[in-house]
Amino acid sequence: MTCIDSIYSEYEKLLMPFDCFTWALITSTFVASFLAILILYFVKRSIRDFVIGSNVMAPSLNVVQIFFGISITVLPKGNFARYLTMLFIHFCLIIRTAWQGKMYEFMQKDVAKPEVQTVEEMIEQGFTFYMEEKFKRKNPESEITKR
């Protein structure tokens, strides 16, 4: 029998495969890619075409499409731009595969939040204790009574 609070929500389950540090690294990768695209719009057109590709009109959309596994209809023509695109596709493929593998592992087992083990944890989590009036006199050696 499990308590309702011990069950992970759907959003918690989505984030479970990676720890906070890994999510921070993934987020920083995407922030860096969007920041690079933004900066490239303020430099000379020839530099932007070299890095992004002369025929790519929506590089930010390409980043999102690559991450979610949607095919890109317009690929860059330049070698360096194609290399960057393939590098990012490989990165996203590895991250997505790792996430899907861990999610598959979590689907095969019951994952529940760890239960409260000590009175200190109960106090930290704000539990309310209901006791009968003479509890302290009847149970002087109880851990709760000592507090």
CB neighbours (10 Å) of residue 61?
13
What pLDDT, on a 0 to 100 scale, did the predictor assign at position 1? 38
pTM: 0.69
What pLDDT, on a 0 to 100 scale, did the predictor assign at position 42? 94
The single residue listed with the structure tokens 């050696």 is 141
71-105 residues labelled b (16+ CB within 10 A) or e (exposed):
eeeeebebeebeebbeebeeebeebeeebeeeeee
What pLDDT, on a 0 to 100 scale, did the predictor assign at position 89? 93
Measured CA distances, 136 to 63, 110, 139, 147 (Å): 63, 39, 5, 10
Q: What is the DSSP letter of 4?
A: G
Lookup: tokens for 105: 């592992």
pLDDT tens per residue across all 147 residues of the chain: 344 566 777 787 788 888 899 999 999 999 999 999 999 999 999 999 999 988 888 999 999 999 888 988 888 888 999 999 999 999 999 999 999 998 888 777 777 777 777 777 777 878 887 777 777 777 777 777 766
